[in-house]
């Protein structure tokens, strides 16, 4: 048997021993034949790209059918294979995934804004039917970025720009942070080569110091936390270069002035132990003002959970500390794929918990909601900007007077808040109070604030609200009301 196929099968069966790899073997041979006479810009056999995409997907511990579809993902677009043949040979599930990826590939996101909007809509429709379609496409894009040096400079810039505008935010929205960070760094190197080179050189000069710093933090945390008898393991990772660059830009600082470029993690068994470890950290280290975020109590919209805080030791060294459970860590690594795998296992009776499956379905329905809302948009630029907002994760947590937490994007207004609570509240909104004081409806809300929406029976949305609301739901509902009540 082919050594590369053996390796791929091992990657799948090691995580799912009972996986049926019959179709996988067939797809390997089928794709190899379909792309037999095709080569990439590097001179490498084209099929090896398809294999690389399949291998990348095994990192997310996805099912064998998804990996099989990855092997076939370019057969409809780049070979003589037709959709009916694919369906006949591999069944509807795999063929539908391949067709979904093919539809995304046909979209030209480097086009004019008007064309982009139509293409994004086509892409959303392809993804909404099966979330695994975008996972295959993200893996495809990641491998293309890893080999981007073989493309002409203009094409490199187009691919990198498209990645930063679309694919990296999508990876973040789906919670796959490892892919998001790598995509950003690879794109950063293409779009801003001088800035990337300078930052990379500075990072390399600090590599030894960073490694030493991580070891010091490890010994210190293990010594302090070890006395409590709480099970945990320590891990650390440097922040991505693009992330550091964005922070330098945001804070207007030089690289040497960025303190917390190292991320420390304490991974334990239960949420209660996360808070216990946090208590120990607070008793032994000074905290940096404004650095605390509790995403366990208030998970991000992509289901990410962790406690974040920045700590300073007695010598003045600073590091970001994240505290989470093993399950939370798994979700932070694999994102939506971890939830997909949970659903798959629940269907096979490997895990149980109906409420967990319902929660997953609800969270993954965001794409369907965006597709519903996007029909209200007539202006392409507005649609693109709103969709990018839906993918962003600079989010805030605002409370209702009864204590319910509403998650919103940064810069959301009371009107966005009102529609997030309920469409009827938004439609009858006539004012707002934040902290018991009246505020204009275009006020930018802040995390932790309590917002009270004032309503009146005869109140209604106004067209000028569209100039300041930022969420897709608010824009959609306002447009719908205006259309239905147009004189």
Q: Among all residues, which ones are annotated catalytic?
A: 77-78
Two tokens at 132? 């695994």
DSSP lists the bridge partners of residue 294 as: 307
Q: What angle do CA 115, 108, 99 make, to 5 degrees?
A: 115
Q: What is the rounded distance in angstroms from the CA atom of residue 325 to the CA atom of residue 305?
A: 9
Beta carbons of 75 and 85 less than 8 angstroms apart: no
Two tokens at 77? 């677009």
402 CB burial (10 A radius; 0-12, 13-18, 19+)? exposed
Two tokens at 173? 């929205």
- Which one, of 418, 419, 429, 477, lies nearest residue 455 by Cα? 429
Q: What is the rounded distance in angstroms from the CA atom of residue 468 to the CA atom of residue 147?
A: 41
Q: What is the rounded distance in angstroms from the CA atom of residue 133 to the CA atom of residue 157?
A: 25
First to last CA, the chain: 72
Q: What is the dihedral of CA 362, 364, 365, 371, to 10 degrees?
A: 160
Torsional sign, CA 267, 270, 273, 278:
positive
Two tokens at 99? 């067709």
DSSP lists the bridge partners of residue 251 as: none
Strand 307-312 versus strand 286-287 pairing type = antiparallel
Those residues with Cβ within 8 angstroms of residue 362's Cβ, 6 or more apart along the chain or in another chain: none
Two tokens at 409? 């994007």
DSSP lists the bridge partners of residue 309 as: 321
3-state secondary structure of 238: strand
- DSSP class of residue 240? P
């Amino acid at each position: 048997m082919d050594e590369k196929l053996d390796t791929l099968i091992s990657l799948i069966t090691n995580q799912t021993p009972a996986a049926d790899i019959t179709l996988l073997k067939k797809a390997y041979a089928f794709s190899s034949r379909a792309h037999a006479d095709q080569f990439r810009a590097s001179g490498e056999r084209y099929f090896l790209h398809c294999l690389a995409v399949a291998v990348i997907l095994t990192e997310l511990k996805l099912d064998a059918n998804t990996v099989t579809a990855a092997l076939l993902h370019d057969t409809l677009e780049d070979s003589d294979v037709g959709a009916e043949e694919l369906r006949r040979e591999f069944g509807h599930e795999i063929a539908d995934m391949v067709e979904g990826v093919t539809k995304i590939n046909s979209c030209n996101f480097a086009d004019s804004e008007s064309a982009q909007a139509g293409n994004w809509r086509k892409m959303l429709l392809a993804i909404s039917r099966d979330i695994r379609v975008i996972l295959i496409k993200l893996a495809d894009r990641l491998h293309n970025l890893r080999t981007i040096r073989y493309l002409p400079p203009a094409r490199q810039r187009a691919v990198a720009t498209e990645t930063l505008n679309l694919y990296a935010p999508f990876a973040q929205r789906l919670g796959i942070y490892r892919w998001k960070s790598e995509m950003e760094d690879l794109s950063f190197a293409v779009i801003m080569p001088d800035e990337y080179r300078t930052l990379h050189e500075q990072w390399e000069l600090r590599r030894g110091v960073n490694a030493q710093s991580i070891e010091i933090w490890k010994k210190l945390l293990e010594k302090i936390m070890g006395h409590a008898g709480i099970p945990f393991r320590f891990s650390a990772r440097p922040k991505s270069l693009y992330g550091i660059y964005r922070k330098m830009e945001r804070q207007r600082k030089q690289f040497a002035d960025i303190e917390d470029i190292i991320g420390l993690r304490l991974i334990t068994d239960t949420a209660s132990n996360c808070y216990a470890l946090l208590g120990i950290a607070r008793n032994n280290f000074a905290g940096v003002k404004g650095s605390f975020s509790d995403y366990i109590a208030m998970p991000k919209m992509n289901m990410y959970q962790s406690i974040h805080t920045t700590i300073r030791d007695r010598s003045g060294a600073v590091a970001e500390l994240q505290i989470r459970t093993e399950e939370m860590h798994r979700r932070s690594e694999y994102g939506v794929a971890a939830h997909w795998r949970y659903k798959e296992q629940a269907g096979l009776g490997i895990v149980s918990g109906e409420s967990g499956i319902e929660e997953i379905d609800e969270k993954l329905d965001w794409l369907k909601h965006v597709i519903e809302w996007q029909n209200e948009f007539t202006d392409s630029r507005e649609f693109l900007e709103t969709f990018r907002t839906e993918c962003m994760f600079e989010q805030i947590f605002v409370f209702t007077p009864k204590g319910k937490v509403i998650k919103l994007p940064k810069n959301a207004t009371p009107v966005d808040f009102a529609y997030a609570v309920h469409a009827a509240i938004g439609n009858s909104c006539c004012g707002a109070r934040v902290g018991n004081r009246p505020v204009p409806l275009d006020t930018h809300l802040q995390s932790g604030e309590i917002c009270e929406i004032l309503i009146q029976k005869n109140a209604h949305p106004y067209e000028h609200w569209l100039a300041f609301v930022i969420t897709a739901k608010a824009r959609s509902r306002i447009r719908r009301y205006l259309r239905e009540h147009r004189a």
